[in-house]
Amino acid sequence: MYRQFFGFSEDPFNITPDPKFLFLSEEHNAALTLLRYGLEQSKGFMVITGEVGCGKTLLCRSLLQSLDEKLFETAWLYSSNITQEQLIRSILKEIGMPASKLPETDHFEVLNEYLLSKINKGKEILLIIDEAQNLSYELLESIRLLSNLETNQRKLLQILLVGQPELKAKLNQPQLRQLKQRILIYYELHPLDKKSTLNYINHRLNLVCQQPGLPKISYTAFKAIYKYSKGIPRVINNVCNKALMATYARLGKKVDKKDVLHAVEDIERLSL
C-alpha cells in the first residue's frame, strides 16, 4: 500500500520467512554455522529451539538454500498429530518416492531401502521437522529409531528438530534420554538485543529502498518498536509494517513515535 509512496521495491516487513531478507545477527550466524558443521559431521541429531517468531523457520530455509542441491535431498515436515506410518510415508514422499510406490506396511524396511538407494547415488538426506514441540513422546521415539538406520560406515538420515521452548523441556524428560544423548548440535535462538534490532530494521529497509535514506525512523520511534517487540523479529515486522502505514496515512517521511504507538494500538486491538 505504502510501497510506492516510500519507493520500496517490495514490502520490507513481510512476515513470510524469505531467505533473501535474512539478517545474520550474531545468534543467527552462530546457529547457521553450527548447523553446517553438524551436517558435515553427519551424525546425531540437531536441535534448534526458540520463541515463536525468532527466526527458526527462516534459518532452516536459509540453510536449505545454501546446500548443494545435487548432493542433498531434504524432507521438510511440519509436525502435527501424525502416526509413525504417516511420518515415514511423508518422509518417503518428500524425498521423491512416487505416490504409487508408497508402502502400506513394513515401513521401516521400505524407508531403509529407499534411503540406501539414495545414498548409493551419492545423496545426503536431511529430515527437518518444524514445530517439533508438538511431537508426541511415541513419535519422538520413532524418530530416534529412524536415526539408527545406518550402513557400516554412516547414518542414512540426518535429522534436524526445530521447535518452541517446550521442545527443550520435552527433550529433558527422562523417557527421552536416549534421544537426548544423540543430540550433536543444540542451539537456542533468543530475541534480538537493542542494537541488533536497529540493524535488523535497517537491513530490511535497505534491501527494498530505491531512494537511499528514505524513510527515516526517529530514535524515539525505534525505542518504542524495541520496547513493544522485545526484539522478536516477527513482532518487529508487524509493528514496523503498521507504523509505516501510519506514517504514510499522514503523508509523512519519517516514522515517529506516534506512528509506532498507533501501530501497537492497532495490533493490540486485533489480538483481543
Ligand X SMILES: Nc1ncnc2c1ncn2[C@@H]1O[C@H](COP(=O)(O)OP(=O)(O)O)[C@@H](O)[C@H]1O
The residue (of 13 and 114) whose beta carbon lies closer to ligand X is 13
For residue 45, CA distances in Å to 13, 147, 207, 228 come to 33, 8, 34, 35
111 versus 189: smaller Cβ distance to Mg ion = 189
- Taking CB under 6 A as the binding criterion, the range among 3-11, 14-22, 112-120, 219-227 that sits at the site for ligand X is 14-22
* Region of 91-99, 138-146, 171-179, 232-240 interacting with ligand X (CB under 6 A): 232-240
CB of 24 to ligand X, least distance (A): 7
Residue 111's closest CA among 126, 137, 93, 99? 93
Stretch that binds ligand X, among 13-21, 97-105, 114-122, 221-229 (CB under 6 A): 13-21
Give me the least distance between CB of 164 and ligand X, in Å please. 8
229 contributes a contact to ligand X by CB under 6 A = no
Which residue in 2, 5, 17, 168 binds ligand X (CB under 6 A)? 17
Which alpha helices (H) appear in the chain, and where do they start and end? Answer: 3-6, 26-41, 56-66, 84-94, 107-120, 137-146, 165-171, 177-181, 194-208, 219-229, 233-249, 257-270
DSSP letters for 161-188:
EEE-HHHHHHHTSGGGHHHHHTEEEEEE
Backbone angles phi, psi at 230, to 5 degrees: 50, 25
Q: Which three cell numbers stand for residue 36?
A: 553446517
Q: Quote the least distance from Cβ 78 to ligand X, whole Å.
A: 11
Instruction: Tell me how far apart the alpha carbons of residues 27 and 215 are, in angstroms, rounded to a whole number.
Output: 27
| The one among 25, 49, 57, 197 contacting Mg ion by CB under 5 A | 57
Considering the rule CB under 6 A, would residue 15 count as an interface residue with ligand X? Answer: yes
The size of the interface with ligand X (CB under 6 A), counted in residues, is 20
> Smaller CB distance to ligand X: residue 93 or 234?
234
Q: Would you give the DSSP letter of residue 75?
A: E
Q: Answer with the entry of Mg ion, ligand X, none that 182 interacts with (C-beta below 5 to 8 A by kind).
A: none
Determine, following the binding rule CB under 6 A, whether residue 168 of this chain makes contact with ligand X. no
List Cα–Cα distances, 15 to 21, 219, 243, 250, in angstroms.
10, 23, 15, 24
Interface map 18-57 toward ligand X (x if CB under 6 A): x--xxx-x--x---------------------x-xxxxxx
CA distance 108 to 41: 24
Contact positions vs ligand X (CB under 6 A): 15-18, 21-23, 25, 28, 50, 52-58, 233-234, 237
Contact positions vs Mg ion (CB under 5 A): 57
